Amino acid sequence: MAVWGERLAGVRGVLLDISGVLFDSCEGGGVPIPGSVEAVARLKQSQLKVRFCTNESQKSRGKLVGLLQRLGFDISEGEVTSPAPAACQILKERGLRPHLLVHDDILSEFDKIDTSNPNCVLIADAGDAFSYKNMNKAFQVLMELENPVLISLGKGRYYKETLGLMLDVGAYMKALEYACGVEAEVVGKPSPEFFKNALQVLGVEAHQAIMIGDDIVGDVGGAQRCGMRALQVRTGKFRCEK
Amino acid sequence: MAVWGERLAGVRGVLLDISGVLFDSCEGGGVPIPGSVEAVARLKQSQLKVRFCTNESQKSRGKLVGLLQRLGFDISEGEVTSPAPAACQILKERGLRPHLLVHDDILSEFDKIDTSNPNCVLIADAGDAFSYKNMNKAFQVLMELENPVLISLGKGRYYKETLGLMLDVGAYMKALEYACGVEAEVVGKPSPEFFKNALQVLGVEAHQAIMIGDDIVGDVGGAQRCGMRALQVRTGKFRCEK
């Protein structure tokens, strides 16, 4: 415990990943990871500031939070930093009109975005919508652009559902990068801007915060590069051998 | 012409790419590229040895040759070097039992391959069979293997059909490489073994041969690295700007 006391000295804020840390998702719902509902409750009763920092891009924040509430978590939409709203801000600032390759359940996040006559492609964890036809369309849109812009909501390799590991958006990002000869702009973890935004809303400095996640690259590496501390849980996609 | 005479001095054999050089494919068939039927006929009437060297992995050799014959080309199955038969030889030599992620039209090439209890994944240009579900299954098979082996029939970025550019197997190879942290073994152009095999069957040395193709990496670069000459046509996927 003394070691933990040292490691956590000065921590005032906690950023919590969601998938693989709070729950494992499955078709149509999810299952809380044992102890996680109670852990969130205890954190919120403590002196620590808490924010949820997720790369979830298959569901809108509203749907995700609704699901977590039904599973027993004390969480509200305003406590969640997720990639889609961050991407919408970037799209507006830069006058980008995306061709969207996303899951139907997140389309509502882009309600106020002009998608006519696309000048970029935005991909998210589209699940079954990652058909050859849809990927080919995204590829063709990029190849027609003079300055192709590819925005990816996260770049995870895979995540864990109750039935097993599932390919994440990062794999499809790599496919389009290779086919089109472009480099994607990642919105979400491990992008420093994304962590900084979450910290700003939380009102703590990087050195006062700890990120808790199951992804060694997206959560742990990304947070550490921002000057935060980080802790990798042994749930979700955690695998001993890698 | 004097320049061409010098460039082609000592050439005894010609390797011809098929898609984008002889014809552009489309759903259910294809369209010959103007002049190509006559060019093949003239080459075959000349003193030059001719072989077709393709990365076609959506159709079996039999189906491809049947289509080309219907389009008017003088071509037979024995004149074609393609990745599936080369891959079958490798699978047998190394005792590999593949999980196949391929198009139905090429399944017959793997008739004599044991696919029970897979210890590797083999992908080809699967077209619409590159669904999320099928990609995820290939990913899961690789993640379960202690020594994951991924074999890709070619690594092309895209090819041209009559309706436009189409994502090729290379994009999906990159997706699986990234998700699983593996490096694929490529069977087909630009693999040196593949070119060497074609040259051996043709009975000419590398310095006596020229490769004609529309892919600057797969055809031209690959052939040059084997000591062959190469010529890029301005049909198929050729694009001035890239």
In order of their start, the domains of chain B are: 2-82+189-232 (3.40.50.1000), 83-187 (3.40.50.1000)
The per-residue pLDDT for B242 is: 43
Q: What is the pLDDT along chain B (242 residues), one digit of tens a residue?
A: 568 888 889 999 999 999 999 999 988 789 999 999 999 999 999 999 999 999 999 999 999 999 999 999 999 999 999 999 999 999 999 999 999 999 999 999 999 999 999 999 999 999 999 999 999 999 999 999 999 999 999 999 999 888 899 999 999 999 999 999 999 999 999 999 999 999 999 999 999 999 999 999 999 999 999 999 999 999 998 876 54
> Are the beta carbons of B110 and B88 closer than 8 angstroms?
yes
Q: CB pairs below 8 Å between A and B: how many?
A: 87
The reply to whether B216 touches chain A by the CB within 8 Å rule is: no
Q: Which of A127, A131, A140 sits opposite B165 (nearest CB)?
A: A140
Indicate the pLDDT class of residue A140, thresholds 50, 70 and 90: very high
Packing angle, helices B132-144 and B169-180, rounded to 10: 40
Alpha carbon of A205: minimum distance to chain B alpha carbons (Å):
33
Indicate the pLDDT class of residue A182, thresholds 50, 70 and 90: very high
Alpha carbon of A41: minimum distance to chain B alpha carbons (Å):
34
> Are the beta carbons of B118 and B148 closer than 8 angstroms?
no
Task: Pick the residue from chain B with its C-alpha nearest to A135.
Answer: B167
The reply to whether A162 touches chain B by the CB within 8 Å rule is: no
Residues of A in contact with B216 (CB under 8 A): none
Task: Pick the residue from chain A with its C-alpha nearest to B129.
Answer: A132
Task: Pick the residue from chain B with its C-alpha nearest to A128.
Answer: B132
The reply to whether B183 touches chain A by the CB within 8 Å rule is: no
> Would you say residue A142 has pLDDT above 80?
yes
Residues of A in contact with B127 (CB under 8 A): 132
The per-residue pLDDT for B18 is: 97
More confident residue, A211 or A161: A211
> Would you say residue A196 has pLDDT above 90?
yes
Report CB contact under 8 Å: A139, B179. no
Alpha carbon of A173: minimum distance to chain B alpha carbons (Å):
8
- For A77-115, the pLDDT digits (tens) are 999 999 999 999 999 999 999 999 999 999 999 999 999
Indicate the pLDDT class of residue A27, thresholds 50, 70 and 90: confident
Task: Pick the residue from chain B with its C-alpha nearest to A165.
Answer: B140
Indicate the pLDDT class of residue A240, thresholds 50, 70 and 90: low
ipTM: 0.93
Report CB contact under 8 Å: B167, A175. yes
The reply to whether A101 touches chain B by the CB within 8 Å rule is: no
The per-residue pLDDT for B37 is: 98
Q: What is the H or E stretch that residue A52 is in?
A: strand A49-53
The per-residue pLDDT for A26 is: 87
The per-residue pLDDT for A183 is: 98
Taking a contact as any Cβ pair under 8 Å apart, which residues of chain A between 10 and 69 contact chain B? none
Q: Which of B174, B177, B179 sits opposite A158 (nearest CB)?
A: B179
Report CB contact under 8 Å: B242, A181. yes
The reply to whether B176 touches chain A by the CB within 8 Å rule is: yes
Q: Which of A127, A166, A175 sits opposite B172 (nearest CB)?
A: A175
The per-residue pLDDT for A1 is: 56
The sign of the CA dihedral B21, B23, B26, B29 is: negative
> Would you say residue A41 has pLDDT above 60?
yes
3-state secondary structure chain B: CHHHHHHCCCCCEEEECCECCCEEEECCEEEECCCHHHHHHHHHHCCCEEEEECCCCCCCHHHHHHHHHHCCCCCCHHHEECHHHHHHHHHHHHCCCEEEECCHHHHHHHCCCCCCCCCEEEECCCHHHCCHHHHHHHHHHHHHCCCCCEEEECCCCEEEECCEEEECHHHHHHHHHHHHCCCCEEECCCCHHHHHHHHHHHCCCHHHEEEEECCHHHHHHHHHHCCCEEEECCCCCCCCCC
The per-residue pLDDT for A242 is: 43
The reply to whether A156 touches chain B by the CB within 8 Å rule is: no
Alpha carbon of B155: minimum distance to chain A alpha carbons (Å):
10
